[in-house]
Chains A and B, each alone.
Chain A
Amino acid sequence: MLTRLKSNWSYLAIAALFVFLILIPFDWFLGQYTTLMIFVGIYTIVTVGLCMLMGYTGQVSLGQAAFFGTGAYISAILSKTYGVNPWLAMFIAAAMTGAFAYIIGYPIFRLKGNYLAMATLGLGLIMWILFVQLRQFTGGPDGMSGIPYLSIGGFVFSTSLKRYFLVWFFCLAVLLISQNIVRSRMGRALRAIHGSEAAAESLGINVTQFKVKILVLSAVYASLAGSLLVYNITVVNPQTFDFLASVKLVVMAVIGGLASIWGAIFGAGATRILSDELLLRFGEWDVIVYGLILVLVMIFMPEGLFVKLKEVFERLRLRFRQKGAEP
């Protein structure tokens, strides 16, 4: 009964989110933030993958920008340099990034905890150096421009309004798929690995294989987001995928709550608003703000800001109901 009630509430919340997202582009609502919301959608996709990897499975990644960038560059190079259809390029990028994650997954998951964090950090740095140095493919530090928009038949996703709906279509699909996985035996296995690898293994869970699979899934998400990014801004440059980008992704996941799928929207949203609207005048000093946020959230609300807010809301609702029940 209690769970039924709870799931009714979450359906209501999702419905409210839908309405909110559809209303955003209207000028009388939040129309001027349509472009910002495109980025929120893109970063939400990466963050969800990171949440599943870090929050649910307990495997730290400080190099998620590597997969984000790999997807972006493969899409950019295929569609710009080789004239491949952008949709096909996006698909190839996701497949290649996933394969890449699969190949590095087995050696990298021989490591645990801090060592794994260091290895993923190294991966992020290596990929960033490749983006900068492979000039003949990537355009070096200047990156590439003139990447085409996505299109279906004659319908080109050329305006930010069209791209807004495109990105959020993908974003919501990713969120729903992730929620389905989390609420299944797969999700339980992932959380079991986080809880105790020894116990998980004794219950028949193939720990290493699960870790690799979830790394592949998070890499495919990141690649998809990277592709959507380049088909939105039609340019790509390596700064988008440097070490700080990986740190920002972790900040997004942490603010949203590491073990919260829908919190990812909140985390990505809060962080994008911070960096696009509030922290511009800080210049490169914004790193300090991100560091501070990370430290404060981890100390005071390790479940994440979003999860904490949800808790407060639940508590208020209960108190309200109790008051109402009194004669």
Chain B
Amino acid sequence: MSKSLILETRGLSKVFGGLVAVDSVDLAIETGKITAIIGPNGAGKTTLFNLITGVYPVSQGEVLFKGKLLNKVPPHKRAKLGIARTFQQVHLFGNMTVLENMMTGQHPRSSYGFFEAALRLPKVHREEENITLKAMKYLNLVGLGTHVQQNAQSLPLGQQKLLALARALATEPQLILLDEPGAGLNTLEKRELSDLVRRIREMGVTVILVEHDMPLVMGLAEWVVVLDSGQKISEGTAAQVQKDRKVIAAYLGEEEV
């Protein structure tokens, strides 16, 4: 094997009642690349994310992370293994400050428990110091270092999305899944987002993103996977995919002959 794969899915399917949301999808995600998953609304992109992160149990098929079968691994353990994600609806902790949101991101990388916390043993101080340091590091990376004490909910949407991204990075993942990171952002913010995603890749984190904004995807993604009605209909570089008849048909509708 010449290329190292960080994530693989084999015949991955998800059935809700009678609806096949994801239909035997094979993915092979290369380590260190930016991959985009695109497709019309209802194509199963977010469901695919939920299968990879373990929010939904798999109906059929396999999810492998660095060659390890994930099917039976609960979601919180996948975070510890090195898979992070963001959500379409942001899902910040509105009852916490920006810094506390970030510190929560360090949860899988810290270890002291209830007992140590209750008695505030020295280990707590040591780890808390480290947690704050890491939180600030990733907060500065997305340029929110000056909003530390602000309530997370009080940020404008663009910054909320950056915070959610930084919080996911604070789990120090090897693979990060971004669900529509560009939605609701203006042109300037989208450009900044592109730069940020490239920087994340340079840090050695593999990126998979679901995105509707085609210019953003085409400028960013090194590999594009196209889903339609739960099936993978095409994949390749941005240029290859754009020329694929099946892709054009899926987006614009097929001409009746």
Q: Mark A35-62, 1 if CB is under 8 A from B, else 0.
A: 0000000000000000000000000000
Residues 172 to 211 of chain A near chain B (Cβ within 8 Å)? 177, 180-181, 184-189, 191-192, 194-196, 198-207
**Assembly CA distance A202 to B165 (angstroms):** 12
Residues in A neighbouring B120, C-beta threshold 8 A? 180, 184
Q: Mark A133-158, 1 if CB is under 8 A from B, else 0.
A: 00000000000000000000000000
Residues in A neighbouring B75, C-beta threshold 8 A? 201-202
Residues in B neighbouring A194, C-beta threshold 8 A? 93, 95
Residues in B neighbouring A177, C-beta threshold 8 A? 118-119
Residues in B neighbouring A186, C-beta threshold 8 A? 113-114, 117
State which of B19-27, B83-91, B204-212 sits at the interface with chain A: B83-91
Q: Is A213 an interface residue, CB under 8 A from the partner?
A: yes
Identify which of B94, B103, B112, B164 contacts A188 (C-beta below 8 A).
B103
A189-B104 contact given A195-B96, A204-B79, CB 8 Å threshold = yes
Find out whether the CB atom of B74 lies under 8 angstroms from the CB atom of A206: yes
Q: Is A288 an interface residue, CB under 8 A from the partner?
A: no
Find out whether the CB atom of B93 lies under 8 angstroms from the CB atom of A180: no
Question: What is the CB-to-nearest-CB distance from A224 to chain B, in angstroms, rounded to a whole number?
Answer: 14
Q: How large is the interface on B (under 10, 10 to 19, 20 to 34, 35 or more residues)?
A: 35 or more
**Assembly CA distance A213 to B117 (angstroms):** 14
Find out whether the CB atom of B106 lies under 8 angstroms from the CB atom of A185: yes
Residue of A nearest to B80 (CB): A204
**Assembly CA distance A213 to B80 (angstroms):** 20
Identify which of B93, B107, B114, B124 contacts A195 (C-beta below 8 A).
B93
Summarize B's interface: helix, strand, loop or mixed. helix
Find out whether the CB atom of A192 lies under 8 angstroms from the CB atom of B104: yes
Q: Is A13 an interface residue, CB under 8 A from the partner?
A: no
Residue of B nearest to A178 (CB): B118
Identify which of A180, A195, A201, A204 contacts B92 (C-beta below 8 A).
A195
Identify which of A188, A206, A207 contacts B104 (C-beta below 8 A).
A188
**Assembly CA distance A233 to B37 (angstroms):** 67
Question: What is the CB-to-nearest-CB distance from B47 to chain A, in angstroms, rounded to a whole number?
Answer: 14
A201-B113 contact given A189-B104, A189-B107, CB 8 Å threshold = no
**Assembly CA distance A207 to B104 (angstroms):** 13
Residues 36 to 89 of chain B near chain A (Cβ within 8 Å)? 53, 55, 74-77, 79-80, 84-85, 87
Residue of B nearest to A177 (CB): B118
**Assembly CA distance A213 to B149 (angstroms):** 29
Residues in B neighbouring A200, C-beta threshold 8 A? 93, 104
Identify which of B93, B94, B127, B171 contacts A185 (C-beta below 8 A).
B127
**Assembly CA distance A192 to B118 (angstroms):** 19
Find out whether the CB atom of B118 lies under 8 angstroms from the CB atom of A180: yes
Q: Mark B159-201, 1 if CB is under 8 A from A, else 0.
A: 0000010011001000000000000000000000000000000
A184-B76 contact given A195-B92, A204-B107, CB 8 Å threshold = no
A185-B119 contact given A195-B94, A202-B84, CB 8 Å threshold = no
A181-B114 contact given A194-B95, A202-B85, CB 8 Å threshold = yes
Find out whether the CB atom of A199 lies under 8 angstroms from the CB atom of B92: yes
Q: Is B32 an interface residue, CB under 8 A from the partner?
A: no
Find out whether the CB atom of B76 lies under 8 angstroms from the CB atom of A201: yes
Q: Is B100 an interface residue, CB under 8 A from the partner?
A: yes
**Assembly CA distance A79 to B172 (angstroms):** 53
Q: Is A259 an interface residue, CB under 8 A from the partner?
A: yes
Find out whether the CB atom of A2 lies under 8 angstroms from the CB atom of B106: no
A203-B79 contact given A181-B114, A186-B114, A191-B96, CB 8 Å threshold = yes
Q: Is B30 an interface residue, CB under 8 A from the partner?
A: no
Question: What is the CB-to-nearest-CB distance from A121 to chain B, in angstroms, rounded to a whole number?
Answer: 25
Identify which of A185, A195, A206 contacts B112 (C-beta below 8 A).
A185
Q: Is A127 an interface residue, CB under 8 A from the partner?
A: no
Residue of A nearest to B111 (CB): A185
Chain B interfacial positions (CB closer than 8 Å to A): 53, 55, 74-77, 79-80, 84-85, 87, 91-96, 100, 103-108, 110, 112-114, 117-120, 124, 127-128, 131, 149, 164, 167-168, 171
Chain A interfacial positions (CB closer than 8 Å to B): 2-3, 177, 180-181, 184-189, 191-192, 194-196, 198-207, 213, 217, 259
